[in-house]
């Protein structure tokens, strides 16, 4: 089956197109989208196994040989990300079925989520820089629809800013691709990497590198470009927020990883120093936000920004340890952020508000939710043996190995901030004086808890079974450290 890397893109695409034929038939929409998500998970699990066995898999679309056609390239990193994305989409869909009301669902909700999945999986898999732009647009346009769906005042107001920021960054993306194409005359990422090496003009390449850093930084919310994120992510309903928070910024990070390891590595690390400094500033800004707010959504949203900083720091040090930690932490963060958003969503459903002053003593009526959240919070902060620990350990070790003192220390301190901010929700929300709650969706709490708890279980398994996961991560790091592996796999014919 040579089309295997394509399946995680094709399955949701076909399903979304079929669902477009009867958007108002909610029961069918629910069933088909859940089945599709499961099928996508199976396909991506098979893909991971195949990549483990055979190394990097490529498909040259339309049988046009590389570097002329568009290749889809599944290395271990992209296969793992595709698998994680599909898993998260399944559980968020499950949650959304209970959470959303019928009218909301009938406005192309499931179709947008599936197109989002298509765009994300495509962006993770493609080996062509312009095709990356196209897949970025696919998931962005779905996200525009998801963020505005529901049409509340705040949502409309915030979605305008979200759309505006992303339209601008898309235009910059096109401009960056234009410069890159002018310099190297190719769009195939492996071919670009080769030609950049042959070109040996670090100056212009650094400029293009910064350009790409701005574009992907806007998506990934790194330091000066994160400003749009808290406001925009606060607006949409919880299932959409969980999807955005868990997945969208991570594509930016993935794109930075991919382009920086393939294109911008020859200039003596100038771009990487910039990236490292920005990553640390991102951690600081995120920490300040997470400490300052008492709104549960906002606290977790600022935790996204901290995580982005931590992962990018691991990428910026560019040691095998740092990169391994970054990938470990990236996968962990996707799962745990989705789970925490879903859990916080249950708290909001019970209390009917997102502010901590309206919560307290929930542990009496909802002990299971409380303890699930507790485990999630510990895992987020990186308490061993939970999943955040190994990633952070490796990143910190990588930082020290690279001779940096400040970075690893800052990251360790930020863990304390993360722990404090996440525990703030626990102590204020679950402990304290019990009170009566009148949230409109409080009766759904147990049903909503199941998918969230399942995600937490996956996170625990990921942390405890780190020994089993490690070979996969090591394989994912190889092409990042040594681009020649990636280049040879794509241009082999």
C-alpha span between 10 and 32 (Å, rounded): 15
- The whole-angstrom distance between residue 94's C-alpha and the CA centroid of its chain comes to 19
Is residue 23 part of the contact set for another protein (CB under 8 A)? yes
Give the shortest CB-170-to-another protein separation in angstroms: 7
172 near another protein (CB under 8 A):
yes
Are the CB atoms for 303 and 418 separated by under 8 Å?
A: yes
**Site membership for another protein, residue 13 (CB under 8 A):** yes
Pull the structure tokens for residue 142: 């779905």
- On the CB side of 139, CA atoms within 13 Å amount to 27
- Residue 334 and residue 304 in contact, taking contact as beta carbons nearer than 8 Å: no
| Segment interacting with another protein, rule: CB under 8 A, options 146-154, 261-269, 391-399, 403-411 | 146-154
Residue 228, interface with another protein (CB under 8 A)?
no
Binding residue for another protein, selected from 80, 177, 315, 362, defined by CB under 8 A? 177
How far apart, in whole angstroms, are the C-alpha atoms of residue 386 and residue 370? 17
Beta partners for 74? 57
Contact status: 133 vs another protein (CB under 8 A): yes
Given the DSSP bridges, would you call strands 57-60 and 71-74 parallel, antiparallel or unpaired?
A: antiparallel
To another protein, the closest distance from the beta carbon of 73 in angstroms equals 13
Q: Which of 36, 60, 84, 85 binds another protein (CB under 8 A)?
A: 60
Q: Which of 62, 103, 200, 203 binds another protein (CB under 8 A)?
A: 62
Instruction: Give yes or no for residue 10 binding another protein (CB under 8 A).
Output: yes
Cα separation, 313 vs 336, whole angstroms? 19
Rg (CA), the chain: 21
Total number of residues binding another protein (CB under 8 A)? Answer: 56
Query: Residue 14, interface with another protein (CB under 8 A)?
Result: yes
Binding positions for another protein, 292-311, rule CB under 8 A = 295, 298
355 binds another protein (CB under 8 A): yes
CA distances 37 to 42, 116, 134, 383, 457, Å, are 9, 12, 22, 31, 19
Residue with tokens 């399946």: 7
Q: Which stretch binds another protein (CB under 8 A): 12-20, 41-49, 99-107, 434-442?
A: 12-20
- Residue identified by tokens 């850093």 is 213
Residues that bind another protein (CB under 8 A): 1-3, 6, 10, 13-14, 17-18, 20-21, 23, 59-63, 72, 130, 133-134, 137, 141, 144, 148, 151, 153-154, 156-161, 163-164, 167-168, 170-172, 174-175, 177-179, 181-182, 187, 231, 234-235, 295, 298, 354-355
């Amino acid at each position: 089956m040579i089309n295997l890397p394509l399946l995680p893109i094709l399955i949701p695409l076909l399903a979304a197109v079929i669902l477009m034929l009867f958007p108002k038939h909610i029961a069918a929409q629910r069933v088909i989208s859940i089945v599709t998500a499961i099928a996508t998970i199976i396909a991506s699990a098979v893909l991971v196994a195949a990549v483990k066995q055979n190394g990097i898999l490529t498909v040259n679309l339309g049988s046009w040989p590389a570097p002329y056609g568009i290749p889809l390239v599944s290395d271990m990193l992209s296969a793992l990300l595709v698998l994680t994305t599909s898993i998260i989409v399944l559980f968020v869909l499950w949650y959304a079925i209970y959470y959303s009301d019928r009218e909301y669902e009938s406005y192309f909700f499931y179709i947008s989520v599936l197109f989002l999945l298509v765009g994300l999986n495509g962006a993770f898999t493609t080996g062509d820089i312009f095709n990356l732009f196209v897949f970025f647009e696919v998931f962005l346009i779905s996200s525009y629809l998801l963020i505005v769906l529901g049409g509340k005042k705040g949502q409309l107001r915030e979605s305008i800013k979200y759309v505006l920021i992303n339209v601008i960054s898309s235009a910059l993306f096109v401009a960056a691709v234009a410069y890159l194409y002018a310099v190297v005359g190719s769009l195939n990422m492996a071919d670009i990497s080769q030609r950049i090496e042959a070109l040996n003009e670090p100056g212009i390449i650094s400029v293009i590198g910064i350009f790409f850093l701005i574009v992907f930084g806007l998506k990934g919310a790194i330091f000066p470009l994160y400003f749009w994120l808290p406001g925009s992510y606060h607006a949409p309903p919880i299932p959409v927020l969980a999807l955005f928070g868990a997945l969208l910024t991570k594509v930016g990070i993935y794109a930075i990883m991919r382009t920086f390891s393939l294109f911008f590595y020859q200039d003596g690390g100038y771009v990487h120093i910039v990236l490292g400094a920005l990553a640390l500033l991102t951690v600081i800004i995120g920490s300040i936000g997470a400490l300052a707010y008492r709104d549960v959504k906002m606290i977790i949203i600022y935790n996204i920004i901290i995580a982005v900083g931590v992962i990018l720091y691991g990428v910026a040090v560019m040691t095998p340890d740092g990169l391994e930690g970054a990938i470990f932490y990236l996968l962990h963060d996707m799962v745990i952020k989705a789970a925490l958003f879903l859990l916080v969503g249950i708290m909001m459903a019970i209390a009917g508000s997102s502010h901590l002053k309206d919560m307290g003593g929930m542990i009496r009526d909802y002990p299971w939710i409380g303890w699930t959240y507790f485990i999630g919070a510990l895992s987020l902060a990186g308490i061993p043996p939970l999943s955040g620990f190994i990633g952070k350990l490796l990143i910190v070790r990588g930082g020290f190995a690279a001779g940096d003192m400040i970075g690893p220390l800052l990251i360790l301190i930020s863990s304390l901030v993360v722990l404090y901010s996440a525990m703030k929700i626990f102590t204020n929300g679950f402990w304290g004086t019990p009170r009566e709650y009148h949230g409109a969706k409080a009766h759904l709490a147990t049903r909503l808890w199941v998918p969230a708890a399942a995600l937490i279980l996956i996170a625990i398994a990921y942390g405890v079974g780190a020994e089993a996961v490690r070979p996969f991560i090591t394989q994912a790091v190889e092409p990042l450290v040594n681009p020649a592996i990636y280049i040879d796999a794509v241009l082999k014919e």
